[in-house]
C-alpha cells in the first residue's frame, strides 16, 4: 500500500514538472526577444544602409531641422510631416514620420547632412516588431493594456523569486567571483549546473534591474486598469484664438521653425538635448520637443509657441515628484537605451547570459523530469509477481 502511495506521489510530481515546463519556455522566449530588442536599432543599421547617416564628405556638417524638413517636403510633395526623431548616436539617420496624401503613415530615413530620403517603409519596422513581440506578444491594446503585457510583466514575479531563493540557497555565492568553476569533463548535468550558477552570480545586478522594472510595468498596468495614475497630468496646452495669426484665403500660413523653437528651449534650459520633435497638427498647437538633460533616464518636455517662439510650458526633471522620478526611470533602466551603444552592448551581453541561464535551468529541469517520467513508466509497465497466499 505504501508503495502504491509512493508511486502516486511520483506520478503527480512528474505531471507537476511537465506543467511547469511551458513557464520555462515562455521565460526563455521573453528573455531572447528582449535581448534582441536591446540592439534592434543596431541590427537595422547593419542590415539596411538607408538607416545610416553617412556624411558626403569629411567636413560635412549636419543640416538644421528646418532645412531637413524642407528637403523632405520637397522630395515628398503633399506629405504631412508629423514627427522627427534624432537618434542618440550620429551614425543613425534621422527618422521622419509623415502621413501621405492617401492617408498612409510612412517612415522616412533621412540623411542629416543633405536631407536626402535614403529609404522609407511603414511605421511598423523590425525594431517596432521585436519590441512589440517582447513587450506584449503583439496582442492588441483595446482601451487598456494588452493581455500580453500582463503575461510578460508577470514573469517578473518568478524571476525575482528565483533571484531571492538562489541567494538564500547559495549563501556564499560571492566565492564564484574569485574562483569561477565550470567543469566540462564531468558530464552534461554537472556542466549545465555549473554554468547556471556561474551566469546567475555574474548577472545578479542585471537580473535585479530587469525584475524590479518589469514588476513596475505590471503594477503600472494594474493601476491604469483601476484608473489610478502616478504622474500628474496637466491640461492640454492650446494656443488662444487671438494668439494665432489671421491669414487671408489663399494666403500661405506662417512657417513653423523647429530650429527657433529648440533655440528658445536651450536658452531657458541649456542642458536640454532634443531627441523627439512633434510639429503642430493644427493652427492652435505647439511645437513639442522631448529630450534629455543632465539626468539621462528621464525625458524632459517643452512646448513652444510656433508663432512667437516662446516656451509656453516645460516639464523638466526638477518638476517631477520623488515618485515620478523613480517610476519614469523604470523604462530606460529596463531597456538600456539612454547612454549610447556601449551600454546597449552591456545589456545585450547580460541578456545573452540571462537567456543562457534560463536555457540551462530548463535543460536541467527537463533532464530531471525525464528521469522521473521514465521511473514512473517503469513502475507502471514492469509486471510484478503476485504475493504468495498466506497458509
| DSSP string across 267-292 | HH-TT-EEEEEE--SSTT--EEEEEE
Name the 3-class secondary structure at 235.
coil
The residue whose grid cell reads 511645437 is 287
DSSP 52: B
18 sits in the region (left: phi over 0; alpha: psi -120 to 50; else beta) called: alpha
**Confidence band, pLDDT 50/70/90 cuts, at residue 382:** low
- Residue among 228, 229, 232, 240 nearest 315 (CA): 232
Greatest mean pLDDT range, 243-252, 298-307, 361-370: 298-307
Q: Is the pLDDT of residue 124 over 70?
A: yes
Minimum mean pLDDT range among 117-121, 209-213, 230-234, 270-274: 230-234
Task: Check residues 366 and 117 and name the one with the higher pLDDT.
Answer: 117
Minimum mean pLDDT range among 115-119, 229-233, 300-304, 334-338: 229-233
Q: Is the pLDDT of residue 289 over 90?
A: yes
Name the 3-class secondary structure at 373.
helix
pLDDT at 310: 94
Averaged pLDDT score across all residues of the chain: 86
d(CA 361, CA 37): 23
pLDDT at 1: 45
Which phi and psi (to 5°) does residue 246 adopt?
A: -95, 135
Task: Check residues 123 and 222 and name the one with the higher pLDDT.
Answer: 222
Residues ≥6 apart with Cβ < 8 Å to 7: 376, 379, 380
**Confidence band, pLDDT 50/70/90 cuts, at residue 63:** very high
d(CA 302, CA 306): 12
Q: What is the pTM of this model?
A: 0.83
Contact criterion met (CB below 8 Å) for 345 and 89: no
Q: Is the pLDDT of residue 370 over 90?
A: no
Q: H-type helices in 253-340, by residue range?
A: 258-268, 322-327, 330-335
Helix (H), strand (E) counts: the chain: 13, 8
Task: Check residues 148 and 253 and name the one with the higher pLDDT.
Answer: 148
pLDDT mean over 26-38: 95
3-state secondary structure string across 78-124:
CCEEEEEECCCCCCECEEEEEECCCCCEEEEEECCCCCCEEEEEECC
pLDDT mean over 288-302: 92
pLDDT at 388: 57
d(CA 220, CA 135): 14
d(CA 239, CA 191): 66
Q: Is the pLDDT of residue 109 over 50?
A: yes
Q: Is the pLDDT of residue 229 over 50?
A: yes
Minimum mean pLDDT range among 16-20, 168-172, 232-236: 16-20
Q: What is the β-pairing status of strands 94-99 and 311-315? A: unpaired
Greatest mean pLDDT range, 159-163, 251-255, 305-309: 305-309
Dihedral of CA atoms 54, 57, 62, 67 in degrees, nearest 10, equals -100
Greatest mean pLDDT range, 167-171, 206-210, 376-380: 206-210
Instruction: Give the number of other Cβ atoms within 10 Å of residue 173's Cβ.
Output: 15
Q: For the chain, what percentages of helix, strand and coil (3-state, to nearest 5) are there? A: 50, 10, 35
Percentage of residues in the chain having pLDDT higher than 90: 53
Instruction: Name the strand (E) or helix (H) holding 359.
Output: helix 341-381
pLDDT at 170: 72
pLDDT at 308: 93
Amino acid at each position: 500500500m505504501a508503495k502504491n502511495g509512493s508511486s502516486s506521489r511520483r506520478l503527480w510530481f512528474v505531471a507537476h514538472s511537465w506543467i511547469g515546463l511551458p513557464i520555462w519556455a515562455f521565460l526563455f522566449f521573453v528573455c531572447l526577444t528582449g535581448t534582441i530588442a536591446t540592439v534592434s536599432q543596431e541590427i537595422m543599421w547593419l542590415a539596411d544602409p538607408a538607416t545610416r547617416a553617412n556624411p558626403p564628405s569629411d567636413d560635412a556638417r549636419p543640416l538644421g531641422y528646418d532645412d531637413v524638413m524642407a528637403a523632405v517636403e520637397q522630395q515628398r510633395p503633399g506629405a504631412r510631416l508629423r514627427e522627427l526623431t534624432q537618434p542618440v548616436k550620429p551614425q543613425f539617420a534621422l527618422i521622419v514620420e509623415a502621413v501621405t496624401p492617401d492617408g498612409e503613415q510612412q517612415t522616412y530615413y533621412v540623411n542629416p547632412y543633405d536631407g536626402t530620403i535614403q529609404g522609407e517603409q511603414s511605421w511598423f519596422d523590425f525594431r517596432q516588431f521585436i519590441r512589440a513581440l517582447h513587450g506584449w506578444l503583439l496582442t492588441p491594446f483595446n482601451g487598456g493594456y494588452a493581455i500580453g503585457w500582463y503575461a510578460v510583466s508577470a514573469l517578473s514575479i518568478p524571476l525575482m523569486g528565483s533571484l531571492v531563493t538562489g541567494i538564500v540557497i547559495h549563501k556564499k555565492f560571492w566565492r564564484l567571483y574569485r574562483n569561477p568553476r565550470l567543469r566540462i569533463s564531468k558530464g552534461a548535468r554537472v556542466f549545465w549546473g555549473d554554468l547556471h550558477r556561474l551566469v546567475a552570480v555574474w548577472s545578479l545586478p542585471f537580473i535585479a534591474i530587469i525584475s524590479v522594472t518589469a514588476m513596475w510595468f505590471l503594477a503600472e498596468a494594474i493601476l491604469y486598469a483601476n484608473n489610478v495614475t502616478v504622474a500628474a497630468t496637466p491640461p492640454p496646452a492650446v494656443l488662444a484664438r487671438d494668439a494665432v495669426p489671421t491669414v487671408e484665403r489663399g494666403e500661405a500660413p506662417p512657417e513653423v521653425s523647429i530650429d527657433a523653437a529648440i533655440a528658445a528651449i536651450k536658452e531657458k534650459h541649456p542642458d536640454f538635448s532634443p531627441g523627439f520633435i512633434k510639429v503642430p497638427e493644427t493652427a492652435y498647437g505647439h511645437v513639442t520637443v522631448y529630450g534629455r538633460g543632465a539626468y539621462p533616464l528621464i525625458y524632459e518636455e517643452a512646448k513652444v509657441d510656433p508663432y512667437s517662439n516662446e516656451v509656453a510650458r516645460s516639464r523638466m526633471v526638477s518638476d517631477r515628484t520623488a515618485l515620478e522620478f523613480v517610476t519614469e526611470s523604470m523604462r530606460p533602466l529596463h531597456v538600456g537605451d539612454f547612454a549610447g551603444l556601449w551600454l546597449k552592448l552591456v545589456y545585450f551581453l547580460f541578456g545573452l547570459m540571462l537567456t543562457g541561464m534560463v536555457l540551462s535551468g530548463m535543460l536541467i529541469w527537463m533532464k530531471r523530469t525525464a528521469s522521473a517520467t521514465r521511473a514512473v513508466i517503469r513502475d507502471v509497465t514492469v509486471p510484478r509477481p503476485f504475493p504468495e497466499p498466506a497458509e
